[in-house]
Amino acid sequence: MSRTLDLGCGDIPRNPFHADELFGVDVRDNLAGNIKSADLVIEPIPFGDESFDYLTAYDFIEHVPRIIYAPQRRHAFIEVMNEIHRVLKPGGLFLSHTPAYPHGVAFRDPTHVNIITEETFPFYFDDQVRWGSIYGFKGAFRLRHQEWRGPHLITVMQKVAAPDSPAAQPGAAARISVFIPVHNGEKHLAQTLDSVLAQTHADFEVLCIDDASTDGSAQILARYAARDPRIRVVTTPVNLGSAPRALNHALGLMTGGYFVYSSQDDSFSSDWLARMHARAQETGADAVIPEVVLHHEDAPAKNRSLVGLAGDADAIVSGREACLQSLSWSIPGNALWNAGLVRRLGFEDFSLNSDEYSVRRFFLECRQVAFSGGRFLYRQDNPDAVTRRFDAGRFDWPYTQLRLAQLLQEYGFAHEVVRKEIDGAVSAMASLRRKLDEHRASWTASELARAEAAIARFEQRLSLQQVLDPPRRMERRVARWKNSLRKLPTKLGLRRP
C-alpha cells in the first residue's frame, strides 16, 4: 500500500504519483479530513520516520525562511530538507514544484535561497557533492528528473537507500527464511513441504501463512509443524485475499538473514537453498537466482529451464540490469533475497499479483544480482492456481503492469522500455474485456462488479499524466554543470592544490 504526503497543501492534498493513501500537512490552521496542521519552521513534519513512499511540495519550499537568527542561528531551509528526507522511505521520491527565480547563479548557496533550483540541486542535496552537509544537511538524494513547465521548475529527487548487509541481520551467516502463502492448497501442499524439508542446507525456517483456508490445508500445516520445529504456521484472522498481503502479514516474524518465497504448489531440488546461499556468501550479492524450471509434472517434455543470464550461471549483474532483463522473463524473479532489503521495502499489495511489481522494485535496490545452481520447479500445470484461472481477479494483471511502467519511469528507464510495458498493459486489458463479454452471462453480479471496478481503476490510472519521463537533455545539462565546476578554479585564476 503506497502512501504520499503533500506539504503546504491547502484544503486538497495533491497526489501526482497516484499513491494508494493520501495525506497532507497544511501550514495554515486547517484540520479538515486527513490534513494535519503544522508550522514546519518550528515543528517537525508530524509523521514518523520512513512513513511515505512519496512526498510533494507545491510552491511551498520558497515560503520557508532561509535563516532564523533568534533565539539562535538556524538554517530553516536545510532543516525542512532533513525532515523531508526523514519521513521518506529509502528509495522514496520527493517532488518539488517551485516558481521561476531570477538571478539563478547568484542563489547557489542554500543559505541565500530557500528554493530548489537548477543551481541548488543537484549540488547541495545530491548523493555525490552534498555541499548542503556543511550547513547540517544529513541525507542524500539522487536527481531523477528536472524540467521547466511554464514558469515552474519541477524537480524529482529520490532518497538514497542505505546499503543492507546480511551480516547485520540475526542469523545472517546461515539462516534462510522460506515464506509460503497458503490458501486452499491441499492438493500440492504436502509435496511442497516435503521438498523444503529435504534441503541439504539445514539452517532455515519455513513460515507458512494460512490465509483463512477452507479446505484441509490447516490440518496439513499442523501435521508438518508438529513433525519439524523449523516449520511455523501463521494464521490470518480473515482472508487477506492475496499472496503479497499474506507475505506482509508475516514479515515481522522473519529471523533469517536471507528471504525466499514459494507458492503452495512449487517444489525444489534438494540443493536449492544450499547453492543459492553459497553463491550469496561468495559474491555478497543482494539477490541470487537459481535455475528456474517452468515445470509440467505430467508432461515433462513441456518443461523449460531459465539458467543464469542467457545460460551463464557465473554472471553477476547490477540490480538495474536484472530488473530490465526480468521484464521479458529472460531472468525470473524467483530469488534468494537479502532479508534486510525485503524487510525494509515489503510487498506492494495493490493487486493479486503485485509481487510481480515488488520483485522488480527489489532488483532496483540491489547492488549486485548473481545466479546459482539448484532448481526451483515453478509449477505450470495447476488449473486452480491464481495465475491460471479466468475470474475477476485476472483483471488485476494489466493494472500491475501499468504500475510497473510507472516504476520504470520513476527510475529513469528509456522511454521505449516504459512504452512497451504500457502498450502491453493496454493490450492485455483489451483482451480481457473481450473475454469478459464472452463470459458475462455466466458470471455473478459480484464478479462482474469486481471486474468492472478493476477496468475503471485501470482506465483512471492510464488517463493520469505520467510525472516522470527523464529527458536525455537533463543528463547532458548535469554533465555540463559538473564540467563547469571543474573549470571554475582556472577561470578565477586559482591553482588546484
The whole-number pLDDT of residue 13 equals: 86
Domain boundary among 159, 174, 189: 159
Cα 62 to chain centroid distance, Å, stands at 30
Q: 180 with 207: CB under 8 angstroms?
A: yes
Residue 73 CA neighbour count, 13 Å, CB half: 3
Residues 23 and 102 in one domain: yes
Output the tens digit of pLDDT for each of the chain's 497 residues: 789 999 887 678 888 888 888 998 876 544 444 556 555 666 788 899 999 989 998 877 666 665 666 566 677 788 888 999 999 988 888 988 877 665 444 444 444 445 676 666 666 777 766 667 767 788 888 887 778 887 788 888 888 865 554 444 444 457 999 999 999 999 999 999 999 999 999 899 999 999 999 999 999 999 999 999 999 999 988 899 899 999 988 988 899 999 999 999 999 999 999 999 999 999 999 999 999 999 888 888 888 899 999 999 999 999 999 999 999 999 999 999 999 899 888 898 889 999 999 999 999 999 999 999 999 998 887 666 656 677 888 999 999 999 999 889 888 899 999 999 999 999 999 999 999 999 889 999 999 999 999 999 898 888 764 444 444 444 454 455 556 555 555 554 555 44
Is residue 372 domain-shared with residue 300, that is, in the same domain?
A: yes
- CB count within 10 Å of CB 334 equals 18
Give, as one character, the DSSP assignment of residue 135. G
What confidence score (pLDDT) does residue 466 get? 45
Are residues 40 and 73 located together in one domain of the fold?
yes
Residue 384 lies in a domain: no
φ, ψ for residue 355 (rounded to 5)? Answer: -65, -25
149: phi then psi, degrees, rounded to nearest 5: -125, 100
Instruction: Tell me the C-alpha distance between 182 and 192, whole Å.
Output: 11
Q: What phi, psi does 419 have (nearest 5°)?
A: -60, -35
311 CB-near residues (< 8 Å, 6+ apart): none
Nearest alpha-carbon partner for 421 in 436, 401, 437: 401
Query: Is residue 338 located within the same domain as residue 221?
Result: yes
pTM of the predicted model as reported, rounded to 2 decimal places: 0.68
Query: What range defines the domain where residue 442 resides?
Result: 392-466
- List phi, psi (to 5°) of 188: -120, 0
Give the pLDDT score at 113.
47
At 129 the pLDDT is 64
Distances (CA, A) of 329 to 48, 205, 271, 313, 333: 38, 29, 23, 16, 8
CATH number, residue 314: 3.90.550.10
87 shares its domain with 112 = yes
